[in-house]
Structure 1
Amino acid sequence: MKTLVIAEKPSAGADMAKVLNCTQKKTGYIEGDRYIVTWAIGHLVGLKYPEEHDPRYKQWRLEDLPFYFSFQDSLKVLSNTKAQFQVVKQLINRADVGSIINAGDAGREGYLIQEWIYRLAGNRKPKKVLWASSLTDEALKKAFANLKEPTEFKLLLEEAEARAMGDYSMGINYSRALTLTIGKQKTMLSYGRCQTPLLHLIVRRDNEIESFVSRPYYNIELQYSKGFKGTLLLDGKIADIFDEEEVRHFEMKLQGDHRPAIVMEYISTDKQRKPPALYNLAELQKNMGSHYGYAPEETLAIAQTLYEKYKVLSYPRTDSRALSMDLYREVGEHIKSCKWGKYESIVDRIDLTKIQPDKAYFNDVKVTDHHALIPTIHSDMKQAFSQMTEPERNVFEAVVRSFLAIFYPPYEYQVTEIVTEKAGCNFSSKGTVIKSLGYKEVFNLEDKEDDDSKEILPVLEKGHELNVDGVKAIDKKTKPPARYTVSSIIALMEKNHIGTSATRGEIIKKLMNQRNPYIRLEKSKYYSTELGRDYINVLPEALKDVEITAKFENQLQEISAGNITKEAFLQQLRDEEVEIIGYLKSCQETVGISSTPQKIPESSNLRCPKCGKPVRENTKAFGCTGYRDGCEFTIWKEKAGKKVTESMVKQLISKGSTSVLKGFKKKDGSTFDAALILVDGKVEFKRG
């Protein structure tokens, strides 16, 4: 009998087939003497929409809400991956397959994807679970030698199903209820228990910025003849003075006193800082957003490529910033793998015989499903690095630096504070002297933790006199709160328990839905749209409160801990839905928002070239109606400054190209002629 291994993606399946000596490539799987390796393509199975349970639900009616369907009757094969599901199902039920290895992504959602496939395929064969932290040959061999029992993941599956069913129920019921009550002029409104509270926070910040009135204020400085400055203190803090008369009073008082300033305190303290904790996905997304402007989903996609294609990165969808003690025993091999290029000298300075398992970095208690992001054990990291794009290199190098830094000594520096007195007023000066760079030698990016003044102060003693060269009032203005950026929005979502490291990018992307966008991204900053603001302004507090998702996630953790059942959790959600939808029904005539409604031509017979579903026109694009099932086929109505008409779209879909068109615009303002062609579902130019 053979063992069937089911990976989550074809690339991972190919890696597993290699270590299991499977060489016979077939359609959708690779076979060997003892093993057969096949794969999903992400999700093969999902939950049915209401109209798939009963065609009468295709028409949206308030009286049908809220919907509840039997979970056993709710699973469906997704249309765009149906062919691969049939391959997997046939293999599961093949007579010579005696057992199955769940080799999906090692996490809550990865486990759910696999279990739903087995359920819909009618599997009755015994299973084991592969839990791998990377896709290198060494890591996979180790994981296959240490397969786990499904019983270890029973509560994880309960948590995953509760998450999927809860989000489905809230999304379907509230989206329909809100569209039918406050979405006037047929405006389709989308609700999500993560995306909508996030939109609320963005709208709130936009309102704070727009209502903000800047106020001028002043700091008063003394310029000492020894070449440094002191800033006025009041009640032990830097004095921000808003009263101009008070400023002039201080200026006159200080200028009228011709005596030197007296040193009241001279405090010099030696300090040190250990290397920061290792990256998890959220910290990596924040860093890449801050330094390069990469959106969260972009950083995740790059990390996934480093993990799957190059096999140089450990499992990317992690929330942990520490390593397990198991990994401590092989950490030297991970370090040696980084010995290439500019990191060779850095690795050479690490004494592998003296590495200790510092609890700040090696701590089983701080590791959840997966350890922190680190480079893998790789035989030729230099070769892999040479093939990477610039963004891939940026992300990978950040992880390499973070990892190598923890084996370097602390950063040592001296902080000096001088407090002086003049004319009865106290002034403060602060400076920093670097004594030893320590781990900072590994980094070549600006360390934003060190925003302290780098001014070097002279060595003084209490009672020392300082001559004053001048007094100056420094003009300043209060600033509004900062807009959320591609970096700070991840910190905002972490703080408010919105999503996970793996899902935050997708949550933001949903709010930027091109059909009805609630937010937009301009120069790495997020702004709410008019629709987004109108939506939040009329939405009941119970549906936009940022505590919604935190409460939801806390209850999921209670399920995984065995403290509450999945059924009790879902029943509580249903009770809340009945109450809130009842409220929406009662106030539907008094509130409402609108935007340009979607244009859905009933006579259109355009079909998506990727999945075969109807293509519909809206105000900005021609898009596939199967977008909810994952199809992203879209043709925008403008291309290089030229309008794309329905007749052009018909030519593209039926023939794969248009005739040569005139008047496309380049960035410099000049024009060019070209035909539009479809390449893998995307519109490109064909010149000449």
Structure 2
Amino acid sequence: MGKQLVLAEKPSVGRELARVLGCRGRERGYSEGERYVVTWALGHLVELAQPAEYSDRYKRWSMQDLPMLPAQLRQSVMEQTADQYRVVESLMRRPDIDSLVIATDAGREGELVARWIMKMAGWDKEVKRLWISSQTDAAITQGFGKLKDGHLYENLYAAAEARATADWYIGMNVTRALTCRYDAKLSAGRVQTPTLALMTDREDERDTFSGGFYWTIRADFDGFTASWQDAQGSVRIPSEELSEKISAEIKGKQGTIVSVETVEKTEQPPLAYDLTELQRDANLQLSFSAKDTLDILQKLYENHKIVTYPRTDSRYITNDIVPTLTGRLKALDATPFGQIAGVYVDHGYRQDMDRFVMESGVTDHHAIIPTEQRVDLARLSKDERSLWELIALRFMEVLSGDYLYRTTTVEVSVENHRFLTRMTIPVMQGWRDMARLIGRRSAAALADDALSDSSLSVEKPIEVGQTVAVGAVRTRRNTTNPPDRYTEATLLSAMEHAGRFVEDVALKKRLGSGLGTPATRADIIEKLLQNHYIEREGRYLVPTPKGRELVRLSPMELRSPELTARWEARLAAIAEGKESQQSFVEDIKRNARTLVSEVSANKERFAPKFPNGKTCPFCNTAMMNIVDEFGQVHFICQKLSCSYEEALVKRRKPVDGNGVSPTGDAQPVAKKVLVKVKTMPASSATGKKVVVVKKSGKAPAESAEQWETVVEVIRPSKLAGRRDYSQDSRREARPARPVAPVQRREPASGAYTGSSDSGTTFADLLAASEKRKKERDGKRKK
């Protein structure tokens, strides 16, 4: 019997699998034992081939070559990880290996990682699938004891490949179309563009928001305070005159209590975490970005093995997980949850588990919960512990009882005006008490604590028909606020519930998948930040002028969440075997052709307005300013055919001992301090050196140094050779100052004379070139 080749997604996972499987022989890129050979990818080792691999004409970006629609997309080995691919390929060709276990991440993308490697290497032997939700030794051993048939995951692979194919056809074509048409480095995608559009639409709403005022009235009665409300339940009074009129009518008057309603209510525990919900709460409570959360969660899963699979979209568990809950509670013994977990182990926990156990609510993986691995908090970093505590707290809350409370609402009538107040009294804290008992704050606690807008006295009885005197009356002017910008937490919610932004009722019901998947949403946000389409301002994500302009110029269909959400729903159908991959891909090709045509037909100009930008000295185009990781300000020309970039750089300005700079300017000389070091006697308890500072009246002979800000060319303009500019002089750093007007040569006879001020773009240059070519061909025919 031959050996089994086990293919993991990452080296860290591969080494853990090798340890559990007893593969002690370590080689370059793999480990080997008596029964198994464990190797690994480095994420993707194989990708879809670049356009230039289909045709030489695609090496050059040109509008006339779009759309690019190869009949069948090919794969190619990624250059940066080619060495590891060759290791895996050589193992697949070993005659003593007769079966393969796919042990990549148990999900759509993990399936694609393995299948493309197998396809590229020509694997045609038996395939098994390891499908586990945690990385504990017990889970790995159990998973290898119940390996699945690889054919069961063919549909999942088809969905993954269809997703990658759609991204290639749409992303490659629309990105090239936008870049060529507007002569600017622009990119678009089926998830990226509608996500960016959510933020630019919100910014547009803020720009058009005019604002206004409204007034509210609160009055003191015997033992409580109540707020004025109209017949519809609104506390807002539209004008100051009306608020003053109401105040005058009720001052010093008597009111009658017309209703006292007490209702006992129940609030069930929150659902367990999926990835998106966890990213939201981590952003709100811990100020983690979505990517930070996923990265830390991955370490808790892979390295520490104390949480289950991270990239899940489910908030439920299945019935087969229920018997393991006791072991998961015992694993919390040495944590702040240990005492309560022990009570649950000894005396039981919540019996009604309908909000936690739901077979139909689990697809690939169940909710994120603690594993049965004993937790050692000393091994966790501060961020790892904070995130783990969120997960453990939610797990404990889910197993706890309901929160019971009593709400009393009192309505008072004064001169035909309604005044209402409400007080909430907890009866049984239930799951809400879990956070308090361990000294933490629950992310799921609702704003019910703020429901009470008065200090109703429980000692003084209040009855219907009772007369109460009006005491102090307070009128307050309030300002209407524009809609808030998105934070990462609210953006993740918007991406998950994209149907809220669709007016079509029938389509709204079909948009259950949202924009992207839990596993990809963090990467989408990071990509928008890296491309400078959005930027962070405190906790908010703000679209840049470049990002807003990109959305304005993108095809309307690509901006809407409808298109990509519809695609995600179809991808889910492919994974379930309900739809053909080929029919989906053909529709994507038609979409790509339509989108390219729309971009080509658009007559608008790419004209972002940067509030703190500059004008390019070569082409008079707006320059975007960004701050790099070193804090230096860069100015980048947005015209791709120019691409000039400069930075404001601080550098040392040498000054001689007399305080005179090389320019001849007198500079103040810094006062120098001489430092002598004296060692304490050996009998000292510390044996450390004491630094004695003595000031000297003499300035040292060496030169003093000062700083100046200069403009440094980072990337020369592509147009510089066509102007009266010396490349050598442009490369030299110069003091920051306004740029002098550009002196241009007179154009030669017959040369292209359009200026950048005329709105000419790269696409116009291509059109002019084509026109001249046709004219030359016409002359030859004559």
Q: TM-score, normalised by structure 1?
A: 0.84
Deviation, structure 1 residue 21: 0.8
**Partners in 2 of 1:88 and 1:620 — Cα distance?**
45
Letter in 2 for 1:22: C
Of the candidates 512, 526, 549, which is equivalent to residue 529 of structure 2?
A: 512
Letter in 2 for 1:477: T
**Residue equivalent to 1:457:** 456
Letter in 1 for 2:606: G
Deviation, structure 1 residue 573: 1.4
SS in 2 for 1:4: strand
Q: Is it true that 1:388 corresponds to 2:380 in the alignment?
A: yes
**Partners in 2 of 1:671 and 1:520 — Cα distance?**
33
Residues 182-210 of structure 1 show CA distances to partners (whole Å, capped at 9, x for unaligned) of x23xx111011111111111011111112
Of the candidates 571, 581, 587, which is equivalent to residue 572 of structure 1?
A: 587
Of the candidates 487, 495, 499, which is equivalent to residue 516 of structure 2?
A: 499
Residues 158-196 of structure 1 show CA distances to partners (whole Å, capped at 9, x for unaligned) of 111111100111000000011111x23xx1110111111
Deviation, structure 1 residue 642: 4.2
Deviation, structure 1 residue 348: 2.3
**Residue equivalent to 1:684:** none
State how 1:606-685 maps to structure 2 within 5 Å: 642=650
Q: Is it true that 1:340 corresponds to 2:334 in the alignment?
A: yes
Letter in 1 for 2:193: T
Range that drifts further, 105-114 or 343-352: 343-352
SS in 2 for 1:365: helix
**Partners in 2 of 1:122 and 1:466 — Cα distance?**
87
**Partners in 1 of 2:43 and 2:60 — Cα distance?**
30
Deviation, structure 1 residue 579: 2.3
Superposed CA RMSD: 2.3
Residues 499-522 of structure 1 show CA distances to partners (whole Å, capped at 9, x for unaligned) of 111100100111112xx4111011
CA spacing shift, 1:638–1:40, aligned 2, 3 Å: farther
Give 5+ residue unaligned stretches, structure 1. Answer: 600-617, 622-635, 645-669, 673-688
Letter in 1 for 2:280: K
Residues 648-679 of structure 1 show CA distances to partners (whole Å, capped at 9, x for unaligned) of xxxxxxxxxxxxxxxxxxxxxx999xxxxxxx
SS in 1 for 2:238: coil
State how 1:121-520 maps to structure 2 within 5 Å: 121-181=121-181, 183-184=182-183, 187-226=184-223, 228-255=224-251, 257-259=252-254, 261-352=255-346, 354-355=348-349, 356=351, 358-378=353-373, 380-382=374-376, 385-443=377-435, 444-445=440-441, 447-451=444-448, 452-454=450-452, 455-458=454-457, 459-496=461-498, 497-513=514-530, 516-520=531-535
Residues 198-242 of structure 1 show CA distances to partners (whole Å, capped at 9, x for unaligned) of 11110111111122122111111111231x211112114033111
Deviation, structure 1 residue 548: 1.6
SS in 1 for 2:313: coil
**Partners in 2 of 1:637 and 1:466 — Cα distance?**
73
**Residue equivalent to 2:710:** none
**Partners in 2 of 1:352 and 1:122 — Cα distance?**
55
The question of whether the paired residues in 2 share the 8 Å contact of 1:108 and 1:156 is answered with: yes
Letter in 2 for 1:230: A
CA spacing shift, 1:427–1:110, aligned 2, 3 Å: same
Letter in 2 for 1:453: L
The question of whether the paired residues in 1 share the 8 Å contact of 2:554 and 2:599 is answered with: no
The question of whether the paired residues in 2 share the 8 Å contact of 1:302 and 1:392 is answered with: yes
**Partners in 2 of 1:115 and 1:357 — Cα distance?**
42
Q: Is it true that 1:31 corresponds to 2:32 in the alignment?
A: yes
Of the candidates 519, 539, 553, which is equivalent to residue 524 of structure 1?
A: 539
CA spacing shift, 1:308–1:238, aligned 2, 3 Å: same
Range that drifts further, 396-405 or 552-561: 552-561
The question of whether the paired residues in 2 share the 8 Å contact of 1:221 and 1:231 is answered with: yes
Residues 15-56 of structure 1 show CA distances to partners (whole Å, capped at 9, x for unaligned) of 111111111111111110111111111110101110122333
The question of whether the paired residues in 1 share the 8 Å contact of 2:130 and 2:144 is answered with: yes
Range that drifts further, 203-212 or 35-44: 203-212
Answer with 1 or 2: which has the greater Rg: 2
CA spacing shift, 1:270–1:75, aligned 2, 3 Å: same
**Residue equivalent to 1:547:** 562
The question of whether the paired residues in 1 share the 8 Å contact of 2:329 and 2:345 is answered with: no
**Partners in 1 of 2:646 and 2:119 — Cα distance?**
42
**Residue equivalent to 1:99:** 99
**Partners in 2 of 1:63 and 1:415 — Cα distance?**
69
Deviation, structure 1 residue 541: 0.9
Letter in 1 for 2:214: Y
Deviation, structure 1 residue 448: 4.6
Deviation, structure 1 residue 418: 0.5
Deviation, structure 1 residue 620: 7.0
Residues 545-583 of structure 1 show CA distances to partners (whole Å, capped at 9, x for unaligned) of 121211111111222233321111111111122223223
CA spacing shift, 1:5–1:438, aligned 2, 3 Å: same
**Partners in 2 of 1:486 and 1:509 — Cα distance?**
11
**Residue equivalent to 1:604:** none
**Residue equivalent to 1:592:** 606
How many residue pairs end up in the alignment?
Answer: 600
Letter in 2 for 1:158: A
Letter in 1 for 2:404: E
Larger relative CO (CA 8 A, sep 6+): 1 or 2? 1
Give 5+ residue unaligned stretches, structure 2. Answer: 499-513, 617-632, 637-644, 653-704, 708-782
SS in 1 for 2:541: strand
The question of whether the paired residues in 2 share the 8 Å contact of 1:268 and 1:415 is answered with: yes
The question of whether the paired residues in 2 share the 8 Å contact of 1:92 and 1:123 is answered with: yes
SS in 2 for 1:585: helix
Deviation, structure 1 residue 457: 2.1
Deviation, structure 1 residue 643: 7.0
**Partners in 2 of 1:267 and 1:236 — Cα distance?**
18
Residues 30-85 of structure 1 show CA distances to partners (whole Å, capped at 9, x for unaligned) of 110111111111110101110122333111111211112243x6101111111111
The question of whether the paired residues in 2 share the 8 Å contact of 1:2 and 1:34 is answered with: yes
CA spacing shift, 1:57–1:346, aligned 2, 3 Å: same
**Partners in 2 of 1:578 and 1:264 — Cα distance?**
67
Letter in 1 for 2:362: V
Q: TM-score, normalised by structure 2?
A: 0.74
CA spacing shift, 1:371–1:643, aligned 2, 3 Å: farther
The question of whether the paired residues in 2 share the 8 Å contact of 1:268 and 1:417 is answered with: yes
